[in-house]
Copies of this chain bind each other. A is one copy, B any other.
Amino acid sequence: MDNDGVDKVIEAFRNRDNFLITAHVNPEGDSIGSQLAVYYILKRLGKRAVMADHDDVPENLKFLPGSESITREIPKDFRLDTVIVLDCPVRDRIGRISDCIDERPFIVNIDHHVSNGFFGNVNWVDREASSVGEMIFHLAEKMGIEIEKDPATALYTAIITDTGMFNYDNTSKETHRAAGELIAAGVNPKAVHAEIFEKKSISEIRLLGRALTTLQLEEGGALAHMSLTRKMYSEEGVDRVSTDEFINFPRSIKGVEVAVFFKEDGITREEINVSFRSSGRVNVNIVAAHFGGGGHALAAGCTLNCGLEEARDKVLGGIRKALGVGA
């Protein structure tokens, strides 16, 4: 941990008075949970603070006490002197919130992204931390502020969403120590998990079923792919569902090196969203980039403006080449 950074954050929290707490566009568990916990700490210090984000709080995080106070606008009469930016590698990631800030404020940048650009007046960047939530836990501990059940639930939410339930490589001994202390502070792990991960719609589950029945293995089981069509959506009588987790199913098959998920999306069928996952041998970022997309070596995506058949032909051809089996 960067002790110099955390000390300067504590100094800013103690010495300054009117705080805006914000995070990135499309906020998720780590940004919402960390915002709520920072708000709690500032209130315990007797400070004035507001929370605002570019987008609304996602449905599955609205159970977090206090999340109803996170707005999309800064109250007109609030004269802020300090902006706390959470979980953002660059300042632009706070989106429209940037426009709401009149003068040049003092910026406290708290983040765990490797790519953080140190854009703050104070920067605390811990690339080893699983989540900003884990960092805020350490901050409260270092300040000697007792975390009650509600902020503990917010921080636990931040940690489990950013680690995939303690599964990803970012999970360390410190991550588990934080989680254990938060449970001791009153968090109910099963109830939190149910709120975040077990509030699906029947349409989402039935569409997952339809997509899974299209699953195919090729190249001796190294390549798995499946598709979701507009027809499936219309047969279920829905326009959109969250399909973020669908790609995990082909990925979880034994022997699969690359999993690909094709989704007809947009207003016409001539737009295909493609998600890629790799188990390590193939860099799917390179394949996605070839089709104008991007991501990471193990998880990437792209969009093709063509029909489903054509998209499948092109993309699977690219994967076969990357696997060293195609032309």
Chain A interface residues (CB < 8 Å from chain B): 165-169, 171-177, 179-181, 183-184, 188-190, 193-194, 197-202, 205-206, 208-215, 217, 221, 224, 249-254, 279
Contact = CB atoms under 8 A, between A and B. Distances in A.
A202 B255 CA distance: 10
A173 to B, nearest CB: 4
Contact of A201 (B169, B211, B251, B254): B254
B200 A253 contact: yes
Nearest to A199: B254
A246 to B, nearest CB: 11
A296 to B, nearest CB: 14
Given A171-B190, A176-B180, A200-B252, 6 more contacts: A176-B176, A198-B252, A209-B213, A209-B214, A209-B215, A212-B212
A91 B60 CA distance: 45
B217 A213 contact: no
15 contacts: A165-B165, A167-B190, A172-B183, A194-B279, A197-B252, A198-B254, A202-B215, A202-B253, A206-B212, A206-B215, A208-B209, A208-B249, A209-B209, A209-B211, A210-B212
A205 B200 contact: no
Contacts of A198: 251-254
Contact of A166 (B189, B199, B210, B252): B189
A201 B180 CA distance: 35
B213 A206 contact: yes
Contacts of A210: 209, 212-213
A201 B193 CA distance: 27
B179 A183 contact: no
Nearest to A188: B169
A174 B177 CA distance: 9
Contacts of A166: 165-166, 179, 189
B189 A167 contact: yes
Contacts of A199: 252-254
For the complex of A and B, 8 pairs with smallest distance between CB atoms: A209-B212, A176-B180, A173-B180, A209-B213, A199-B254, A198-B252, A176-B176, A173-B184
A168 B184 CA distance: 15
A210 B199 CA distance: 21
Nearest to A197: B252
B205 A215 contact: yes
